[in-house]
């Protein structure tokens, strides 16, 4: 979510030129730059292929999930085109939200159908991670709901991405995620906010409890921690990347 003023391929390249070896492609960058989706995605794949990355992840689109279960077929077709383009490079994780439905047994069943369809189009080397959302009025905000969906889907390469900022807004403790989901947590989206809106700030700028974060990371030991910090201006984002690099060093020493 850095360099939101740039097309995604240019944003990714600017991050990689700064020496980062891991990157997660954010769908927000597509929304912000209003580029032609598949053409720009192809440019991203070309960019990533030129670098020797330690990991590359992709946050899949989430806007069409607002349409609910009855339009999921067309959405899966769209995602299939994304995956086909990205098959040119190695994608470690595809991160997805669940369909935007109220918490219920029927909604869990709908989410399971969606994830199974997604698993059918994602190559076997990539893992699919379900991300918790900030709204408690929709399925997927609580660790209990995520566990129910993942267990019912019964997909071997299905896991969870815990979004720290979303958990703060939903008033759900990070330790509840670690105690309930445990080894299912493969990735973490790390950012800060005011406890009410999804501001995607640098950790330490908002109300994030750093001690509880460190305890959560020590218990879960996620494969990947993504600093999901939003910025637009080039100089602003260069500064943000410097701070992210510093945070990364602190996390490595502590965990």
CATH number at residue 34: 3.20.20.150
Rounded CA-CA distance 57/224 in Å is 10
**Looking at residue 199, what is its pLDDT?**
96
> Is position 2 within any domain?
no
Does a structural domain hold residue 3? no
pLDDT of residue 57: 97
Give the pLDDT confidence of 33-71 residue by residue, as tens digits.
888 999 999 999 999 999 999 999 999 999 877 655 567
Does residue 222 lie in a domain region? yes
pLDDT of res. 238 = 95
Contact residues for 4 (Cβ-Cβ < 8 A; gap 6+):
11, 28, 29, 32, 33, 230, 231, 232
Number of neighbours of residue 218 by Cβ within 10 angstroms? 11
Range(s) of the domain holding residue 44: 8-254
- Give the pLDDT confidence score for residue 68 in this predicted structure: 58
Is 107 within the bounds of a domain? yes
Q: Is 101 inside a domain boundary?
A: yes
**Residue whose entry in the numeric block shows the structure tokens 């047994």:** 105
Structural domain contains residue 192: yes
Low-confidence stretches of the chain (pLDDT < 50) are none
Domain total for the chain? 1
Integer Cα distance of 3 and 113 in angstroms = 35
Residue 66 forms part of a structural domain:
yes
Chain segment 70-93, per-residue pLDDT in tens: 678 888 999 999 999 999 999 999
17 occurs within a structural domain: yes
> Which pLDDT value is given to residue 67?
56
């Amino acid at each position: 979510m850095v360099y939101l003023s740039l097309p995604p391929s240019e944003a990714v390249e600017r991050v990689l030129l700064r020496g980062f070896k891991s990157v997660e492609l954010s769908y927000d960058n597509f929304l912000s730059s209003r580029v032609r989706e598949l053409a720009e995605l192809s440019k991203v794949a070309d960019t990533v292929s030129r670098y020797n990355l330690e990991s590359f992840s992709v946050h899949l689109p989430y806007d069409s999930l607002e349409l609910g279960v009855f339009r999921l077929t067309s959405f899966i077709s769209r995602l299939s085109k994304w995956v086909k383009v990205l098959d040119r490079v190695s994608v470690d994780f595809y991160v997805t939200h669940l369909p935007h439905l109220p918490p219920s047994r029927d909604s869990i069943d709908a989410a399971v159908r969606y994830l199974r369809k997604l698993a059918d189009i994602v190559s076997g080397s990539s893992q699919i991670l379900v991300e918790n959302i900030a709204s408690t009025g929709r399925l997927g905000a609580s660790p209990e709901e995520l566990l129910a969906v993942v267990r019912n889907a019964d997909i071997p390469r299905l896991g969870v991405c815990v979004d720290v900022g979303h958990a703060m807004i939903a008033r759900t403790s990070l330790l509840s995620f670690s105690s309930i989901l445990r080894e299912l947590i493969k990735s973490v989206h790390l950012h800060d906010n005011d406890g009410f809106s999804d501001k995607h700030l640098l950790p330490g700028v908002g109300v994030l409890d750093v001690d509880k974060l460190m305890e959560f990371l020590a218990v879960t030991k996620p494969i990947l921690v993504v600093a999901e910090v939003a910025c637009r201006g080039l100089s602003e984002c260069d500064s943000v990347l410097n701070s992210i690099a510093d945070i990364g060093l602190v996390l490595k020493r502590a965990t």
